[in-house]
Chains A and B, each alone.
Chain A
Amino acid sequence: GDSVTQMEGPVTLSEEAFLTINCTYTATGYPSLFWYVQYPGEGLQLLLKATKADDKGSNKGFEATYRKETTSFHLEKGSVQVSDSAVYFCALRDQGAQKLVFGQGTRLTINP
């Protein structure tokens, strides 16, 4: 079945550092790919998405490129801020499927 594997956390960085959170997936069809963010005590917010190979999703300085050849959708940001501290989830939704399949989440802490 479909699955998503994320980089093990937690990840701790200093402010203005470069961020990469790795995500790889397994899917039977042609999925859409998503990154969601969950701030403490809150629900999930969509951060960015890509619906086909080679698409780049971007939002709030974060980027991720849909790489079909490596089945990856790594999240990057050039300069992180304290306010980026949260849990990040990679997810996929296969074509025609009802559900999102999530990775286990990566907790990110940014220190001033």
Chain B
Amino acid sequence: ETGVTQSPTHLIKTRGQQVTLRCSSQSGHNTVSWYQQALGQGPQFIFQYYREEENGRGNFPPRFSGLQFPNYSSELNVNALELDDSALYLCASSVDRTSGNTIYFGEGSWLTVV
């Protein structure tokens, strides 16, 4: 149990639709990151939010966007879904941005695009 909770756990969407995934970070953590894990691969960094501002972005197109709220919970939005967006989406939180701090992951949201 890491204290990071994600919803929904599973969902199926049609190509071209939009999806919103949600994450509650561990209590006291102000930094949230999102990762995409395709089947059989390691997680890939999408972006990070620190105190409600985007604080770094991986190699993902602009149709991947996010928000962080004053309570440090976060959303990942993906527009114009493509079949290759099918993956496990992981939310992770840490107490701040310092690179040595432990990053805690949620159990993920499985997205299937058909």
A43 and B48 within 8 A (CB): no
Task: State whether A46 and B45 are in contact (beta carbons under 8 Å apart), knowing that A98-B56, A98-B97, A99-B33 are contacts in the complex.
Answer: no
B100 and A89 within 8 A (CB): no
B90 CB–A CB distance under 8 Å: yes
A82 CB–B CB distance under 8 Å: no
B2 CB–A CB distance under 8 Å: yes
A95 and B99 within 8 A (CB): yes
B103 CB–A CB distance under 8 Å: yes
Which residues of the other chain, B, contact A43 by a CB distance below 8 angstroms?
2, 4, 6, 90, 105-108
Interface size of B by Cβ–Cβ distance < 8 Å? 27
User: How many Cβ-Cβ contacts under 8 Å join chain A to chain B?
Assistant: 64
A61 CB–B CB distance under 8 Å: no
B58-114 residues at the A interface, CB under 8 angstroms = 58, 90, 92, 97, 99-100, 102-108
A100 CB–B CB distance under 8 Å: yes
A104 CB–B CB distance under 8 Å: yes
Task: State whether A99 and B107 are in contact (beta carbons under 8 Å apart), knowing that A46-B102, A49-B102, A94-B99 are contacts in the complex.
Answer: no
A44 and B97 within 8 A (CB): no
Task: Give me the interface of B with A, judged by CB distance under 8 Å.
Answer: 2, 4, 6, 33, 35, 40-45, 48, 55-56, 58, 90, 92, 97, 99-100, 102-108
- Cβ contacts A to B, 5 pairs, < 8 Å: A43-B4, A44-B105, A45-B2, A45-B105, A98-B56
